Amino acid sequence: MSEKNKKAEFGWVMFDWANSSYNLVISTAIFPTYFIAVTETKINLLGLNLSNSSLYAYTVSVAYLLVCFISPILSGIADYGGSRKKYMRFFTTLGSIACMSLFFFRGMDSLWIGLIGFLLATLSHGGSLVFYDAYLADLVPPKRSDKLSARGYAFGYIGSVILLILNILMIKYPEYFFISSQQVTDNYPVRISLLSVGCWWLGFSQFSFAYLPKDKLTQHPVNVLSHGLQELQKAWMRIKGNEALKNYLIAFFCYSAGVQSVVYLAAPFAQKELHFESTSLILVILLLQLVAIAGAFLFAYLSKITNNLYSMKIMLIIWVVICICAYLTQTHTQFYFLAAAVGMVIGGIQALSRSTYSKIIPKDRNDITCFFSFYDVVYYLSVVSGTFLFGLIEQVTGSMRYSVISVILFFVLGFVFLKNVKTILPKD
């Protein structure tokens, strides 16, 4: 491998290192618990009386619904040179600033800052990944995609865990960070943690912008929206005639809805149903992330000695068991074991989903972007579906436990459709 290719791959995995701080600190660990803690249990918004956890879930849904609408435009732009890295940088900057703005969210009197900042950060994170994911097939051949994809997720987990540990230390021992007791009362350590995500995301992404391949100097089409929609249509025309690819995408939609529901709403569940303190819950999520690093490599190894589809079916069975156990969980100790199980499969399912898709799509290199555009739209719609259903069921029943049970359906359907994927995938 040339030195230039090594640097490009390093730049690619460093983007995971940079933006995974949003995934862990903002969407999973600190912001959800902080949002539930500083807002009222019932919130009247636009004439609707919503629980704070349902409002949080709906905000995620709206953010990803917006990404679905703009994704064709983004993919249309990404297809032409002079744009991919440029727009990746734009969304990174916007998302980082949005994370920094959450420092000014203190409670109900500044609820609009929390909602808009979180929405923009989520939207920007999704927007940047439209361009980021498309780099994978360009950087390595299919036989190396599993390894690079797992490496990217591992870098993301390690980087975000380092930042989370620093944040935990600041929250638990504020005096060592020159934070006064008055500032602790004002949630200053937590708010600084949210600010740090934006700085981390913006700072470390500069490695990616320095080392990823330069944009090509070709002219944009006159109507990028039209082009983006044509790309999605082109992908669909080829997908609907390919039974293996069609079944895989349906399976991906189903189980991703389940996975992302768990990612975004595990913390509110533990806080409201099991009465976890915020600091204890953050430590649990740290455990989850550490186990996820091992999980990503464990299932990459399992797929190497068997195949990707077999490995993914094993993980979906484990996800069903996790949901059943979550519904029955009553103690903190039980939740610790549950978090470890989630960590073991969450890294593996995310890493293998991306690399499996890069293996299963037709090998016409000119069409690579349209397939990844379609993949991204399917993913975003799955997040909208999963989080909206989770929030709706909690709103109707008054209990997040019933929402957890509903998530099982996503994993069962994912398993059924994945079982119908009949194809031979190249191994690493």
What's the pLDDT score for residue 223? Answer: 62
Dump strand ranges (E) for 227-364: none
Q: Residue 91 sits in which domain range?
A: 3-419
SS3 content of the chain, % helix, strand, coil (to 5): 85, 0, 15
Cβ–Cβ under 8 Å, residues 256 and 379: yes
Angle value at C-alpha 7, between 1 and 371, nearest 5 degrees: 85
DSSP string for 92-114: HHHHHHHHHHGGG--SGGGHHHH
How many angstroms separate the CA atoms of 274 and 268, rounded? 10
Q: Answer whether residue 426 is part of any domain.
A: no
Cβ–Cβ under 8 Å, residues 117 and 22: no
What is the dihedral angle through the alpha carbons of 147, 148, 153, 156, rounded to the nearest 10 degrees? 140
Higher pLDDT pick, 5 / 44: 44
Residue-wise pLDDT for 355-367, tens only, equals 788 778 776 545 5
What's the pLDDT score for residue 137? Answer: 66
What's the pLDDT score for residue 104? Answer: 95
Q: Is the pLDDT of residue 143 over 70?
A: no
How many angstroms separate the CA atoms of 386 and 60, rounded? 10
Query: For 316-327, what is the mean pLDDT?
Result: 89
Q: Is the pLDDT of residue 110 over 80?
A: yes
Which tokens is 29 given? 């660990």
Q: Answer whether residue 123 is part of any domain.
A: yes
Which tokens is 76 given? 């249309």
DSSP 213: P
Residue-wise pLDDT for 62-73, tens only, equals 888 888 888 777
Domain at 218, CATH number? 1.20.1250.20
Q: What is the pTM of this model?
A: 0.78
Across the chain, mean pLDDT equals 82
Q: Answer whether residue 397 is part of any domain.
A: yes
Q: Which residue has the tokens 């990844």?
A: 372
Give 49's strand partners: 44
Q: Answer whether residue 332 is part of any domain.
A: yes
Residue-wise pLDDT for 246-284, tens only, equals 889 999 999 998 888 887 777 777 777 787 777 777 777
What's the pLDDT score for residue 102? Answer: 95
Q: Answer whether residue 351 is part of any domain.
A: yes
Q: Answer whether residue 425 is part of any domain.
A: no
Residue-wise pLDDT for 162-181, tens only, equals 998 899 899 988 888 888 88
For the chain, what is the domain count?
1
For 9, 155, 352, 385, 419, the CA distances from 151, given in Å and listed in that order, are 10, 6, 11, 29, 27
Taking alpha carbons only, the member of 134, 366, 385, 121 closest to residue 250 is: 385
What's the pLDDT score for residue 1? Answer: 52
Q: Answer whether residue 204 is part of any domain.
A: yes
Residue-wise pLDDT for 275-307, tens only, equals 777 777 777 777 777 787 777 778 877 877 878
